[in-house]
Structure 1
Amino acid sequence: MKKLVIAATAVFTLVLGACSTSVERIDSDSTTDLSGAWNDTDSRQTAQAMIDDVLSRPWIDQHVAKEGSAPAVIVGQVKNLSHEHINTKTFIADMERELINSGRVQFVASANEREEIRGEREDQDLNSTEASRNAAGQELGADFMLKGQINTIIDAEGKKQVRYYQVDLTLISLADNRKVWVGQKKIKKYVKNSKMRY
């Protein structure tokens, strides 16, 4: 009986050990590609490359020469037209960070952010002192909007797959709808997996 209890305990311990979770912390800037799907590295590298490109083009110097100030930019919608779920909000946040930290443009809050700020301004009108209150009607309007889309093409055969991502961005003048910059970034991944996802 004693041997039976020991054997049962050993089996139970092995089963618990097999079901345990293992976690290893890795550097957030490291390249980790588990599934071959769009990931944080794709988002970060694409944002860096495309913002570097847009800030190196003539439109920005032309605007400064004409207006005497850095252009005000806002990031609009980035549509996910790919075959997979892509969190475009993180990609937009990556682009916003690159634009703001460049110091070459002024950056305007998004529509949702502006609504929250306007609510705070209305509250200040009612409750803040005259000296500390921020008046309505002083917002900076954007000169340009950056918007775009993410597309994919999948070529699969058996357990092999090529995933092709194409990110297209356009910078548009809000004054006259002129397209002042068009950028494109391509990513191609060769994936071999026994459990392919489409």
Structure 2
Amino acid sequence: MFRLLGMLSAVIFIASLLNGCSHDEAKHKAVIEDMEAYRSIMDLQTDYLLLIDRLFMHSKGMRPSEISIADLLFTEDAEWILHAGANERRVFSGREGLAELFKTFKNSFNGSYVKHFTTNPKIEISGDTATSKETLLILWSIPNTDKNHWVIGSYKNEFRKTSDGVWRFESKTTRIENKSIWDSVAYKLECPTVDGKPLPCIERPVKSPL
């Protein structure tokens, strides 16, 4: 009797160990999947910034089309919500609607030198969907002028892993919080000498030739 109880206890103990191993494996698999999703979403964000900048700058030989950006990076039913002012809210739906928005953006920048940056991303993943919040910074300069612009705002994104296994934007909300213009100023170093000995260099502002 005692021998039978001992064998039964051993079986229960081994079963609990196996169940624990199975639970740990599932947990590790979920962690790896979340890490892969996080990297894919970061890559998606980077691709978006690079392609949009190329579109805005009218880059020759590598400029994507408006619809190709929408097809590559967004789901078919995606929407873009734009808050450009205190009381201005516009919604662009579907890939065709997004393509029209990109065309409007491109015409507004009109070949200026443009760079987008996002910082402080906070990404939350839940299976095949995810959300993110980040700070937006846009810098651009107008050719043949001393005028430069910067815009500060935020992005709020929703993502979905589509049937082909690719993460895409499902929704993007943009809020413009501040914008300004400043004149280009370049600095040159003047390093005077006394009796052949150099003195501390002085930065003197000069108008940029750009």
TM-score range (shorter-chain normalised) is 0.3 to 0.5
More strand by percentage: 2
Bigger radius of gyration among the two: 2
